[in-house]
Amino acid sequence: MGDTPLRQGPGPERGLFSLAELPPPLIQGLTARSVELFHDPRAHDRPLAAQVVGVLFTRTSTRTRTAFTVATLRLGGSPVGFGPGDLQLNTGETVGDTGRVLGSMLDLLVARTAGPLDELRNLSRSGRLPVVNAMAAQEHPSQGLCDLATLALTFGDLTGIQVLYVGEGNNTAVALAHGLAAVPGARVTFATPAGYGLPEDELRTAERRAGTVGAAVEQIHELAAAPADVDVVYTTRWQTTGTVKPDPDWREAFRPFHVDEHLLDRWPRASFMHDLPAHRGDEVSGRVLDGPRSLAWTQAAMKLSSAMAVLEWAAGPHG
């Protein structure tokens, strides 16, 4: 007789899908752990030893894919990479069937699809394994944790931090909203072109959480209405990975939101952040991106330690 066939049904979803679903103490803990691992990448006991981590990226990635691959190796695990043309999803196999197969062979899956977040939840349920959202259409939570860790590295205690985000209300902005909404006394203002703001339901969710910790999340559509005091000015590239804007003249709406030295000088003590890749001359000037107030390159390096913190948690009993 051969081995007994595997006949398991779907299980509960596990992993990191949205920062809105993580309690504030956990977000703060992952932020602190990211900073600790940034200072000492060996401050762990190889929690992924003998584990295999799938790294599925159907969209382009430099920082996130490299970070999660290297983080798996640093934590003692073995990564298996999948590119956009590698899986039978391209020939019509369902997400559920794919998840079931991957779950029978992998211990954990990191996935970037730029598609619906529900696809990642389905992979987790069908495969009965933890899944880390490395970017879906709705949210980029691992970037949000990286951003919080970069802020913590720079400013220490984040209580009362004031952030101005300039540009499209994309999946990075959604993660930043949910992350800072968990920080006591924080204020984040999203200055977005009209028609390109955060999704209303995400904004309302972040506002409700912010109210429980004395934080504030707000959205404006004119930079003239930006707060007088800001610790950080944050922008992202205008064209989000995996998306196309329906308005052919969309750049005209975005031009007033270009971050140059003149804009940054409205807040002489503010730092600058960018999740990269950057298009100098579009969302940011080269003088700002490469200038002395830019945290963008520290932010990029923080991707690795924040990925390590996420994988360590996701592989544990509560992931």
Q: Encode pLDDT of 119-166 as tens digits.
A: 999 999 999 999 999 999 999 999 999 999 999 999 999 999 999 999
With H, G, I as helix, E, B as strand and everything else as coil, classify residue 94.
coil
The model's pTM is 0.95
Residue-level pLDDT at 239: 81
- Whether the per-residue pLDDT at 287 is higher than 90: the answer is yes
**Domains parsed from the chain with CATH numbers:** 14-140+303-314 (3.40.50.1370), 141-300 (3.40.50.1370)
What pLDDT score was predicted for residue 6? 55
Residue 114, pLDDT > 60, answer yes
SS3 call for 110: strand
* 62 phi and psi angles, rounded to 5 deg: -110, -60
From the CB of residue 92, how many other CB atoms can be counted at a distance below 10 Å?
7
Asked whether 281 and 305 are in contact (CB, 8 A), the reply is no
Tell me the mean pLDDT in the region 28-41. Answer: 98
Q: Between the CA atoms of 260, 262, 264 and 266, what dihedral angle is there, to the nearest 10 degrees?
A: -160
Residue 227 burial (CB count, 10 A) = 16
Average pLDDT, integer, range 27-41: 98
**Average pLDDT, integer, range 210-223:** 98
Helix axes 117-127, 95-103, angle to 10 degrees: 40
- Please tell me the least confidently modeled range out of 14-28, 162-176, 237-251, 295-309: 237-251
Supply the pLDDT for residue 1. 38
